[in-house]
Each structure stands twice: as C-alpha cells, then as structure tokens.
Amino acid sequence: MSLDKLEQSVRKSARAEIEKIKKQTEVELEAIKNKIKSDAARECEKYKARKEHEIKLLEKRILADARMKAKTKTESEKTKLIDSVFLSVRDKILGLDKKQKTKILQKLAQDGKKGVQNPVVYVDSKYRDLIPAKSRNIGDFGVIIESKDGSVSVDNTLSSVLARMRPALEPKIVQMLFK
C-alpha cells in the first residue's frame, strides 16, 4: 500500500471518527439541553407555586386587614351613636322646665344623702334657686353631697350619674339600636 493510499485511509478513518464524535457530541448536547429545560421547567413550577402561595397569603392578609379596619370603623360609629344617645339624654334633661329640674335635683340630693352623716348639699350657682342647697361652682347640673367633716363626698352631677349608669345602659342601647 502506498503512502497516498495509507494517508487517504487514515483521513477517511479520521473523518469517520470525527463524524462519530460530532454525532455523539450532538446527542450529549441534546441530552444536556433537555436536562436544562427540564430543570428550568421544574424550577419555574416551584417558583410559580411559591409565588402563588405568597399571593394567597398576601390576599388573606389584605382581607384580614380590611375586615379589621371595617370592624374598627363599625365599632367607632356604634360608639359615636351611643355617645349621641347619652348626649341627647343630657340635652333633654338640661332642656326641661324649672319644675322638672327641681324634681330631678331633689331626687339626686335625696339619693346622695343616703349613707352620708351630716350631709351638706351643694348645687351649681346656676341652679341655686331650684333647691335649698349651698351654692358652689360645680360646672354641671346636679348636686354634690359632702359630710360636714369633708370625709365623704358623693358626686351626683349629671355627668357623673350618666357615667355611672352607662355600663348598665349601654348593652340595652346597643340592643335597641343594632339588633
């Protein structure tokens, strides 16, 4: 065999080997690409699932926050309505005629004297002509009863009486207004 033929045979064999390597490389590259695509798709699905879960949690937080704000607003409005009921009662009492105010002051003084030895009744100077009591700048409708020695004091002013009555009356008012 001549050198040319040997060279041609080697070249032919090398080309065949190169083609074989190219095909094998293409197969391996295709397998790598498919694995990368598969891994990428799997990671995308994981990421998508994670983000969907985060979105659901965010949605739940937003809804919970909205519910809480709505409840707070509702409770605030209910409280304002209840306050307006008490203010209305106060205004109604203050708008009564002298005869009715006198009866109320007498009742407040009478109730306040119970349990107070040697009571002294004080009324705001604005109402001093309605009942027999000492005048004092109370700043409210009603009376303050003190023992002579000052050790006991009963505040039966309208503000104090309404404040004491509110815990008992509020559930009834709520029942009437909101049920």
Domain end position, chosen among 77, 109, 142: 77
pLDDT at 38: 92
Domain end position, chosen among 49, 77, 105: 77
Instruction: Specify the residue for token string 């404040």.
Output: 163
Residues 116, 60 share a domain: no
Is residue 87 in a domain?
no
Residues 174, 108 share a domain: yes
10-residue block means of pLDDT along the chain (179 residues)?
Answer: 79 87 92 92 93 95 96 92 92 94 93 87 91 90 89 91 92 85
User: How far apart, in Å, are the Cα atoms of 48 and each of 44, 53, 88, 96?
Assistant: 6, 8, 59, 71
pTM (predicted TM-score): 0.62
pLDDT at 9: 84
Count of domains for the chain: 2
Coil/strand/helix, residue 55: helix
pLDDT at 158: 93
pLDDT at 166: 92
* Helix 3-94, helix 158-178: angle, nearest 10: 120
Q: What residues contact 152, with CB distance under 8 A and at least 6 apart?
A: 115, 116, 117, 146
Instruction: Specify the residue for token string 């004091």.
Output: 153
pLDDT at 52: 95
pLDDT at 1: 64
With b for 16 or more beta-carbon neighbours within 10 A and e for fewer, the 24-59 pattern comes to eeeeeeeeeeeeeeeeeeeeeeeeeeeeeeeeeeee
* Tokens standing for residue 118: 């040697």
Domain limits for position 151: 96-178
Let me know: does 141 contact 109? Beta carbons within 8 Å. no
